[in-house]
Structure 1
Amino acid sequence: MPSETDAQERAWMAFPPERSSLGNTAEDTHEARVSWAEVAHAVSGFEPVTMVVDPADLTAAGKYLSADIELVTAPLDDAWMRDIGPTFVKDDADGLLGGVDWVFNGWGQQDWASWGKDAGIGAAVVRHSGAELVDSPLVNEGGGIQVDGLGTVLVTETVQLDPYRNPGLSKADVEAELASTIGATQVIWLPRGLTRDNKEFGTRGHVDIVAAIPSPGVLLVHSQRDDAHPDFQVTREIISLLAGTRDAQGRSWEIVEVPAPEVLRDAHDWVDYSYINHLVVNGGVIACSFGDRADEGARQILEQAYPGRQVVTVDARPIFARGGGIHCITQQQPAADAPKPGRAREGFSRP
């Protein structure tokens, strides 16, 4: 799996369906669609965006999205493309594109989730992209892994070893599958994710809200500085653990702590607002903002971590209220080193 900083052909997203976990009312659906569209338009300023739309929502999608966004149709349960979509990989020998189709089961068969339709999106995206399909029996989501493109992958015990995802699998079993699918040679296990992410509408601990790898040997890590928040202790433990690990090349990490926003709670619970959950695109970074005094400091950290890229922020509070962030609703497709001959683009109906 290449680094997210490698050249990309496009970004994939999914349009929020009329009925989903994203909201039960017309107002909720509208708010979600506005936020997803803002992210799509921010990304399209740097690279093409393809949006998967449920056929029933095609007319609605046209009201929220500009003509710059390519629309393809397929039945959807939800709109978290990072998790329902494939993980793209490249062949070491010839640079040709592959797509790993993980098993998706609603973030561990959660009682609020539906996934019968979403379980087919990964393979459909791979077919449409022209990539080679790589089937995996592992229940996994794209938000559950972070890589450096050189063999290092970060995961969490509460996701890949979740008994509702992969009952009976050991760390060795998971590591073997990650080696054969995404080329992982060094798997770093975090014990858990953030507090809110382990509650209703959470993922039980996705790593892409906790840590990111902007360049080889460097880690951006979420840091809660207020000891009133339960993530204060969680992030202290994670940072301490990571400081004792090495990447696939045997290097100790340069750890850059990214302070959490100052807000601690929303109307429901402790927030897991995180600047880590950003998307790297060609020449840019699409980052979360929260209307918080910490936003500008986080922007500066990202600008330093990704030199030469323009950092564009989008208000991510409506996305986080639904259980994720900007990285969670997008999936990058890396540019292949050479075109794959004889592969027809298929997998979706075109509007």
Structure 2
Amino acid sequence: MPPEWAPHERTWMAWPVPNTTFTGGYLAEARRAWAEVARTVRRFEPVTMVVPPGGADEARALLGPGIDLAERELDDAWMRDIGPTFVTDGTRLAAVDWVFNGWGGQEWARWGQDARIAREVADLAGIPVHPSPLTNEGGGIHVDGEGTVLLTETVQLGPERNPGWTREEVEAEIHARLGTTTAIWLRRGLTADYNGYGTLGHVDIVAAFARPGVVVAHTQPDPAHPDHAICAENVALLRTRKDAAGRPLEVVELPAPTLLHDEDGGWADYSYINHYLCNGAVVLCAFGDPRDEEAARILGRLHPDREVVLVDARPIFAGGGGIHCITQQQPRPWLPAPGPRSLAPRP
């Protein structure tokens, strides 16, 4: 799996549809937010939005021109999780199709259609599919492209997803599908990710690679917030770890927004970690918060060759995720004509 900063062929997204998450006026608000992200990414690379059958005209009215549409049945709109994980041998692409069970079979989730979206997207992209027996989502992994993958224990090792799997078995399957050799495990994710419409601990809201050897980590400066201790533990652990090349990790802290509570009075999980790297840009979650610009400066220093674009992510977080959660990159192969190597699945 190439790192997110490697060149992309395009970005895939999924259009919000009526369900237990997107109800009433929030559905319209969510669609406007998804459209804003899609239009922003389209400035830098092609975008395909998967929309429900018969929904193309309604989506086009908000998306505007220039964004490709594909009609397929959908249950939800988090393409990072329901879509494929793209892998390459440098000349050809393939799609890893993880088992998807509604983020651990949560009561509010429906996934009969979404469990097929990875294959649908692979078919639209014209690439082969490698099915995995592991229950996993794209938001539960982050790679450096040089053999290292970030994971959280409450996702891949949680009984809601993979009962009976050992850590060694999970790592073997992850490494076989992604081409990684070193797994760095965080104990858990943010507090709010275990409530409401959470994912039970996705890593892409707490830590992400910025380049090989460098990780950005979510920190909560306010000790009144329960994530204060969780983030301190994550940062301390990451600073003791080495990547697949044997480099000690450099950890760059990204402080959480100043807001401590969400609209319902629960603990907020707003995070700048959940940004998206597309060709030439960092599409960064904004929250109308004093720390928005600070996060933009930090990520701008880490990605000096990219434009940092702030997009209001509050309507997206209201549904349980962020900008990274609603996007999925299709990498661009970088080698010349195919040779004898094969993308056949490993046993």
Fold match by TM threshold 0.5: yes
Look up the equivalent residue of 2:310 and give its one-letter code. Answer: T
1:1-351 aligned within 5 A = 1-17=1-17, 19-25=18-24, 27-91=25-89, 94-268=90-264, 269-337=266-334
Distance in 2 (CA, whole Å) between partners of 1:71 and 1:22 is 23
The answer on whether the counterparts of 2:214 and 2:251 sit within 8 Å (CA) in structure 1 is yes
Residues 190-240 of structure 1 deviation map (CA, whole Å, 9 limit, x = unaligned): 100000011110000000000110111001000100000000000001111
Rounded to whole Å, the distance in 1 between the matches of 2:35 and 2:257 is 24
Give the CA deviation at 1:96. Answer: 1.3
Contact 1:260 1:273 in 2 (8 A): yes
TM-score by length of 2: 0.95
RMSD in angstroms over aligned alpha carbons?
1.2
Q: Secondary structure at the match of 2:251?
A: strand
Give the match's secondary structure for 1:89.
Answer: strand
- Per-residue displacement from partner, 1:152-171 (whole Å, max 9, x unpaired)? 00000000011121110011
Q: Which amino acid aligns with 2:247?
A: R
Cα gap change, 1:296 to 1:95, in 2 (>3 Å): same
Q: Could you say which residue in structure 2 is the equivalent of 1:346?
A: none
> CA deviation digits over 1:28-62, x for unaligned, max 9?
11000000000000000000000000014222112
Instruction: State the 1:134 CA deviation.
Output: 1.1
Is the contact between residue 52 and residue 71 of structure 2 (CA under 8 Å) also seen in structure 1? yes
Unaligned runs of 5+ in 2: 339-347
The CA deviation string for residues 131-179 of structure 1, in whole angstroms up to 9 with x for no partner, is 2211111100000000000010000000001112111001101001011
Q: Distance in 1 between matches of 2:44 and 2:160?
A: 38
Is the CA contact 1:96–1:340 (under 8 Å) kept in the aligned structure 2? Answer: no
What amino acid maps onto 2:234 in structure 1?
A: I
> What is the percentage of aligned positions where both structures have the same residue?
56
* Residue 307 (structure 1) shift: 1.4
Counterpart CA distance in 2 for 1:321 and 1:85 is 21
Give the residue type in structure 2 aligned to 1:332.
Answer: Q
Contact conserved, 2:16 with 2:22, CA < 8 A, in 1? no
Contact 1:222 1:276 in 2 (8 A): yes
Q: Is the 1:21–1:78 contact (alpha carbons within 8 Å) kept by the matching residues of 2? A: no
The secondary structure found in structure 2 opposite 1:55 is coil
Distance 1:315 1:195 in 2: 22
TM-score of the superposition, structure 1-length normalised? Answer: 0.94
- Aligned residue identity for 1:191: R
AA matched with 1:316: A
